[in-house]
Amino acid sequence: MAISLIDTFRVLASFDPPRGSLRGAPWEDYVDWAIAQGLAPLASYNLEYRLAGGADAPEWARDRLLSIYSGSVNDNVMKLVNFKRCVDELEGRQLLLTGGAAFADTLYPHVGFRPVLEISMLLRRMDVDAFAGYLAQHQFRPEPNEPAHGAMKVVSDGRTPIFLYADVLGAERRAEVQGIFERSKPMRMYGPSMFRPDLEDAVLLVCLEQAREGYQMPWLSYLDLRELMTGATSMGSVYSRPVDVAVLLERAKAWRLERALYTSLSILTRLFPSIAENLKPALPPLRRATRELLDRLVVLPASEPGKMSHVRGSERLRRLLTGQ
């Protein structure tokens, strides 16, 4: 029986994949796509250790995914251990790890499941240059090109780029950014100066990143959002609790991210229908015309593998989604 690409994704992106054969899956399409989306390590683990007989996947597909999984484990350990050595003794600061470095050990049962291609950090504006200078003592140098993805600075040691962000909600909402710092949780494994955002803030920061990228980012980001919104039930971490929906909606309104939250959660419900009903209370009450516009321009194409592309007026749409 033929199995669609999206169904293959759902099975192999699960922490508890349903048993069954994937013999009819579109492996020629899936393998390269999964690697590009950051999904290969988890998919490989499921095929090798969770699904009997590798779910009848062809040997070449299992071998290729397994090589990515092995590389991801080693790469993550190398990057995170090296980063810890750099910042472990830094005192008197409050620096926030976001994205993969904050999620690999809190949302995923194994650190190798969540590739950490770069390290993203949220800093107060006054700390950006000082921290970049501190990292320079550890062979991290400014990248020659203009900082991408909205970062103020990007430094790298040739192996690990570190993106330094500030004022992520725009200059007019610095008070809201200050609230992120005040609610953040210590990451003692990285020393006394390292923190990570609280749960509701982490959800909105993921939605902000997705909107800022025009929803053209690796689908690994949706796994992050799935686990945040469902309380990281496979873990016992700082994110292993139910989202406070009232707080999330109130904060989304204050941050002017209601449209981004609606869009990200709507995509999530299409990717993972089993959690759609639980996510409904967290959908902001937008006007019907706004919902229909976002559904047509973003939600529907972004929910199909390989279908999302820049739409006409995409910069205007980005501003609509992020309030910036």
- What is the model's pLDDT at position 312? 53
Three-state secondary-structure class, residue 66: helix
106/238 Cα distance (integer angstroms): 7
238/200 Cα distance (integer angstroms): 11
Interacting residues of 22 by C-beta distance below 8 A, sequence separation 6+: 3, 8, 11, 12, 51, 55, 56, 57
- What is the model's pLDDT at position 155? 96
Q: Are the C-beta atoms of 265 and 283 separated by less than 8 Å?
A: yes
* pLDDT greater than 90 at residue 311: no
In this predicted model, what pLDDT tens digit does every residue of 148-204 receive, in sequence order? 778 999 999 999 999 999 999 998 899 999 999 999 999 999 999 999 999 999 999
Q: Are the C-beta atoms of 100 and 116 separated by less than 8 Å?
A: yes
* Residue keyed to tokens 């292993």: 240
Cα dihedral 275, 278, 281, 285, rounded to 10, equals 20
* pLDDT greater than 90 at residue 143: no
* pLDDT greater than 80 at residue 316: no
* pLDDT greater than 60 at residue 313: no
In this predicted model, what pLDDT tens digit does every residue of 213-247 receive, in sequence order? 989 899 999 999 999 999 999 999 999 999 999 99
pLDDT over 90, % of the chain:
88
- What is the model's pLDDT at position 308? 59
- Taking only Cα atoms into account, the Rg of the chain, rounded to an integer number of angstroms, comes to 20
pTM for this entry? 0.95
Tally of residues, the chain: 324
Tokens of 4: 């669609």
